[in-house]
Amino acid sequence: MITSWPTLAQEVFACERCRLCQTRTNVVLGEGNLHASLMLIGEGPGQQEDLTGRPFVGAAGQLLDKMLAAIGLTRDQVYICNIVKCRPPHNRVPEADERAACMAYLRQQVALVRPKVIVCLGSTPARELLGEEVRITRDRGVWHLRKGVWFMPTFHPAALLRDEDKKRPAWMDFQAIRDKLKELGVDNA
Ligand code: URA
């Protein structure tokens, strides 16, 4: 059953489905245009996100904003969220049971937003949504059509901050995302 945003928010903000609730400061549900054509999904909140309750506000988020701007988009035109809504301690990769516990929320977000294009930022969302066999360096930039939605795995912006060589392929991916939105007749995501 499709929920409503207030019901989903109420449920997520009170969530105790996994151990991450014990160490979080804030739940980070997601933000942006609730009817966006483009949804971007990261791994999980980092320190700044945990402190503010907002996704992608730290250094990686600032780079993501620049990449969106480079294809003519602002944060309020797209919807941004994560696989897990609570920060894993020390920014470790979320465990399988933590990801599984949070998946129902992501499914509801997708059902409410109804994006045409979903960008998986890094290997955690790419594997969770497209299959465990995905290797981000090998498989980034490839489109997958699932249930009428176009999925693209690309590098996580934090990876671009660590390795300059990833910036060029990531830029190609963002250009492909812009082209896909255009092809789908989307004016402002
Ligand atoms: N990295 C993520 O994957 N998500 C955020 O919200 C911030 C950093």
Please list the pLDDT of the chain residue by residue as tens digits (189 residues): 679 999 999 999 999 999 999 999 999 999 999 999 999 999 999 999 999 999 999 999 999 999 999 999 999 999 999 999 999 999 999 999 999 999 999 999 999 999 999 999 999 999 999 999 999 999 999 999 999 999 999 999 999 999 999 999 999 999 999 999 999 999 766
Quick one: pLDDT at residue 187? 76
Quick one: pLDDT at residue 58? 96
Quick one: pLDDT at residue 2? 75
Q: Is 12 helix (H, G, I), strand (E, B) or coil?
A: helix
Q: Tell me which of 49, 64, 91 to substitute to probe ligand 1's pocket, judged by most ligand atoms within 8 Å of the beta carbon.
A: 49
Q: Are 40 and 113 in contact (CB under 8 A)?
A: no
Quick one: pLDDT at residue 1? 65
Please classify residue 146 by burial: count the beta carbons closer than 10 Å to its beta carbon, then call 0-12 exposed, 13-18 middle and 19+ buried.
Answer: exposed
Cα–chain center distance at 168: 20
Residue with tokens 């996580």: 156
For residue 18, the CA-to-ligand 1 centroid distance in Å is: 19
Q: In what order do the strands lie in the sheet with 117-121?
A: 31-32, 79-82, 38-42, 117-121, 149-154, 144-146
State how far the alpha carbon of 148 is from the alpha carbons of 36, 69, 138, 154, 184, in Å.
15, 26, 24, 19, 12
Report d(CA 18, CA 74) in Å as an integer: 33
Identify the structural domains of the chain with CATH numbers, from first to last: 5-183 (3.40.470.10)
Closest Cα partner for 84 from 107, 62, 101?
Answer: 101
Report d(CA 114, CA 104) in Å as an integer: 15
Quick one: pLDDT at residue 189? 67
State how far the alpha carbon of 137 is from the alpha carbons of 67, 141, 145, 159, 171, in Å.
19, 9, 20, 11, 14
**CA-closest residue to ligand 1 atom 7:** 56
CB count in 10 Å sphere of residue 65: 17
Counting Cα atoms < 13 Å in the Cβ hemisphere of 90 gives: 1
Q: Tell me which of 24, 63, 156 to substitute to probe ligand 1's pocket, judged by most ligand atoms within 8 Å of the beta carbon.
A: 156
* Stated pTM of the model: 0.97
Quick one: pLDDT at residue 91? 95
